[in-house]
């Protein structure tokens, strides 16, 4: 019989960049006691995003962060700067990534590859509380 569960995860990122949330997601999925299904994560913000990325080499995260800093720099002149110089670059970086992910659940576990991790990608400089909505459907 199909079931569904919903919840949320609150993350306060102390700095911009990638913040691992894989363990939090794995614990939440395990607590739902579903063997097979699909987990959907949705970031409820316009200046942060979600990514599945390399989870073993810290240099991969640093390179991604540096790349996004180059393509959406804070020192450019933007019309939208209501909350400071990191405001519009944060929106651009979020627009280039994604605010939702879908991850299969198999055998009661996230079906991630060996080198894959789930990350909140914080695009603002100040510590910001982020909410991620969770929905799992399965059996």
Per the rule left: phi > 0, alpha: psi between -120 and 50, beta: everything else, 94 is alpha
What's residue 127's pLDDT?
87
CA 78 from centroid of its chain's CA atoms: 25
What's residue 71's pLDDT?
97
CB atoms within 10 A of CB 67: 12
- Decide if pLDDT at 117 tops 90: yes
Segments in 14-57 forming alpha helices (H) = 22-31
- In the three-class reduction of DSSP (H, G, I as helix; E, B as strand; rest coil), residue 90 is classed as helix
What's residue 108's pLDDT?
98
pLDDT per residue over 10-56, tens digit each? 999 999 999 999 999 999 999 999 999 999 999 999 999 999 999 99
CB atoms within 10 A of CB 2: 9
Give the chain's domain count.
1
Domain that holds residue 97: 3-138
What's residue 7's pLDDT?
98
pLDDT per residue over 49-103, tens digit each? 999 999 999 999 999 999 999 999 998 899 999 999 999 999 999 999 999 999 9
What's residue 75's pLDDT?
87
What's residue 12's pLDDT?
95
CATH number of the structural domain spanning residue 26: 2.60.120.460
Q: Which two tokens stand for residue 71?
A: 């393509």
In the DSSP assignment, the letter for residue 73 is: -
């Amino acid at each position: 019989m199909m079931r569904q569960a919903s919840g949320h995860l609150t993350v306060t990122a102390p700095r911009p960049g990638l913040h691992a949330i894989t363990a939090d997601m794995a614990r939440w999925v395990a607590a739902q006691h579903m063997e097979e299904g699909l987990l959907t994560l949705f970031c409820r913000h316009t200046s942060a995003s979600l990514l599945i990325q390399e989870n073993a080499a810290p240099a991969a995260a640093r390179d991604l962060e540096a790349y996004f800093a180059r393509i959406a720099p804070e020192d450019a002149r933007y019309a939208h700067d209501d909350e400071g110089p990191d405001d519009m670059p944060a929106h651009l970086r979020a627009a280039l990534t994604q605010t939702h992910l879908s991850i299969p659940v198999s055998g009661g576990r996230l079906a991630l590859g060996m080198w894959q991790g789930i990350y909140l990608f914080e695009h603002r400089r100040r510590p910001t509380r982020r909410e991620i909505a969770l929905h799992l459907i399965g059996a």
